[in-house]
């Protein structure tokens, strides 16, 4: 599904006559207000890969590691500062974001609604060109982990067109379908994990199941 969106996105770029930087259409959100929830879910920079969010377990909202501070909301883009080649990024489509706390190693990128749709921004930021540009900037720095910052990411130049309604509609459908499929897969995995031990222990008699 993502590649279908990519094909539409590449076709859309052909209609773009302007060139602007990411920083003109998006902001980095530095929201560190403390969660009032007794239990929270923590998202580290390596937890998300190519928009695939795992199941997060609740933990007590106390004595958390110091880098778990960032808050975000639905339709934000989470983008790792470390090792861009590993594609640790994701588009937030789930609700109850007040239950989550993200690592400071994840940039929270939010579209300027008057300039660009969040789904279109996600495709710009996850394009091969954007990733390669960010990688080049981060790998020139010394240190154990190649790490960049929002200044590096936001200086990337994109082809731009104010007319975004059609491409936004398509990308919204694509990203929502991806999210829906991920939920279905997780539900099937839960059912499998619940039934498999019973099957192995003989608690379920396959001979009595009609197909």
Report whether pLDDT(121) > 70: yes
Whether pTM > 0.85 for this model: the answer is yes
Query: In angstroms, rounded to a whole number, what is the distance separating the alpha carbons of residues 145 and 125?
Result: 21
Local confidence band at 67 (pLDDT 50, 70, 90 cut-offs): very high
Q: Name the CATH code of domain 2-208 (choices 3.90.220.20, 3.40.50.300, 1.10.260.40, 3.40.50.80).
A: 3.90.220.20
Short-list 131, 148, 153, 152, CA closest to 85: 131
Using CA atoms of 67, 71, 76, 82 in order, give the dihedral in degrees to the nearest 10. Answer: 0
Q: Is 157 left (phi over 0), alpha (psi -120 to 50) or beta?
A: beta
Give residues with Cβ within 8 angstroms of 12, minimum separation 6: 161, 166, 167
What is the predicted pLDDT for the residue at 199? 65
- Radius of gyration of the chain from its Cα atoms, rounded to whole angstroms: 20
The gap from C-alpha 112 to its chain's centroid, in whole angstroms, comes to: 17
Q: What tokens were used for 5?
A: 């969106």
Query: In angstroms, rounded to a whole number, what is the distance separating the alpha carbons of residues 48 and 78?
Result: 9
CA distances (Å), 44 to each of 8, 65, 113, in order?
31, 11, 27
Short-list 167, 166, 163, 171, CA closest to 115: 163
What is the predicted pLDDT for the residue at 3? 82
Query: Domain map of the chain by residue range?
Result: 2-208
What is the percentage of the chain residues whose pLDDT exceeds 70?
A: 87
Report whether pLDDT(31) > 90: yes
Local confidence band at 201 (pLDDT 50, 70, 90 cut-offs): confident
Please check whether residue 101 is in contact with residue 71, taking contact to mean a CB–CB distance below 8 angstroms. yes
């Amino acid at each position: 599904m993502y590649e279908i969106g990519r094909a539409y996105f590449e076709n859309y770029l052909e209609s773009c006559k302007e060139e602007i930087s990411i920083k003109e259409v998006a902001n980095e959100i530095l929201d560190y207000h403390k969660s009032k929830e007794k239990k929270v879910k923590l998202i580290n920079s390596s937890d998300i890969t190519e928009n695939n969010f795992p199941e997060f377990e609740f933990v007590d909202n106390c004595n958390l590691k110091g880098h778990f501070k960032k808050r975000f909301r639905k339709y934000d883009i989470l983008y790792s500062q470390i090792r861009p080649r590993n594609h640790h990024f994701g588009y937030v489509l789930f609700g109850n974001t007040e239950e989550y706390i993200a690592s400071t190693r994840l940039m929270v990128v939010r579209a300027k609604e008057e300039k660009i749709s969040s789904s279109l921004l996600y495709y710009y930021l996850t394009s091969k060109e954007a990733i390669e540009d960010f990688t080049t900037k981060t790998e020139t720095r010394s240190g154990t982990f190649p790490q960049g910052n929002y200044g590096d990411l936001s200086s990337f130049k994109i082809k731009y067109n104010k007319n975004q309604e059609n491409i936004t509609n398509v990308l919204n459908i694509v990203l929502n379908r991806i999210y829906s499929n991920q939920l279905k897969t997780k539900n099937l995995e839960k059912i499998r994990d619940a039934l498999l031990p019973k099957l192995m222990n003989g608690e379920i008699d396959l001979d009595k199941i009609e197909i």
